[in-house]
Structure 1
Amino acid sequence: MAAPARPKQAGAAGPSTPHQPQSGVPVTAIAFVDTETTGLDPIYHKVWEVAVIRREADGTETEHLWQIRPARHELAGADPEALRISRFEERFAVPAGAWAADMLTNTPTPMEFLDAARQIFKALTGTVMVGSNPHFDASMLHRLLQTGRDPWHYRPVCIATMAAIHLGPEKAGPMPWSSYKLSRTLGIEPPADGVAHTALGDARWARDVYDAVMGGAR
């Protein structure tokens, strides 16, 4: 079934849109984040899966998982290796005719793109983003949301850097570090083959490495 015409990006509606960034939003939560994308270039490639585990100051966690349908021309310009690694053909499950879906319901719940973008924006508002190479995820999400001012703190935290500093030079070894090796040295097994390069699996792993370094949920 042919996909409908894709709507404007989240920030395209002008000052009245709910996505208008709010200045001075305090940091109140941590967001363990991962994205799966059609490639590595935030200009040419697109996010197709987003996971956010939002942890509030009291330790309460909420998991979110969305998939977003790439437009036909975006798939045509995709990096085949990126699609293979993330198992796009096997895992993409946005219902026909929809642009996005909430993936944590019993069956994927179809959504409009702007509704998914609003939910992603809300889940990330007032957070410090934590992940494996989260600057990549931040750049891809910035492009996806197009809100101008990002709702998350400008300094994302990389679990590999955290782990290496925590372990010290002898255990961490020379750069560039292997995030999987660092994770195992901390006692955290990285995602298995069926879980690696899925957004939620990698976000959960980022959370576990963070907690191992920080001494538990905080």
Structure 2
Amino acid sequence: MTFRLLTAASAMAIALSIGGAAAAQTAGSPPFDARRGVFTFAAGLERSLPAVVQVTTLSSAGGPTTGETEPKPLMGGSGVIIDAAQGIIVTNNHVVDGGQKFTVDMTDGRLFDAVLIGADKATDIAVLKIEATGLNQVEIASSDNLRSGDLAFAVGYPLGLDQTLTMGVISGLNRSGMGDAVEDYIQTDAAVNSGNSGGPLLDSRGRLIGINTSILSGGFGGGNDGIAFAVPTRIM
């Protein structure tokens, strides 16, 4: 009797183990959209895309003596809303540096004036605030849990284009040697170009893991060579 009970218990344990392994394999598989018949990460990413904005930095008007009466664009970049209720947007310091006026374009077509409420050159992070309702915000994940080989998605407004999403992997962690005061960068091969600065680096669930800040380029045009760096959320 004892032997039979042990055998039954062992069989149940084996069955549960096999079932658990199958469930784990299913859970770890790329998301599959049965209706369209494709593997996709769109569901998680689409929740975050409305939180990614275009940031424009303008100079102050020169005044009558210069003949300039309207502010002129100095820099264009990207940003991401991290607090919808308060209208808080994170971007790069180098995107807003030297500006006197800032505007934020939303994915729904709305345009807002923004106020610079904080900037840190050492980490290349700046914070803008807008007065608006009906905003979306991104979920923030801990960058401490990242591993090389994880999928990564860069979102922004590169080279004058509308919002653009590119995919790559985490190529390395704790990168330094770029000459900045605080260096603890995430390296990715997701395509990042001029205009992506200040935009989010997202994980495969659409959560914020870093702020895209720079690229390393060996070409004459200074374009993307598959080596980009992001400020991790742990020091954001």
Work out whether the TM-score is over 0.5: no
Higher share in strand: 2
Name the larger-Rg structure. 2
- With the length of structure 2 as denominator, give the TM-score of the two structures: 0.23
- With the length of structure 1 as denominator, give the TM-score of the two structures: 0.25
Higher share in helix: 1
Higher relative CO (CA 8 A, sep ≥ 6), structure 1 or 2?
Answer: 1
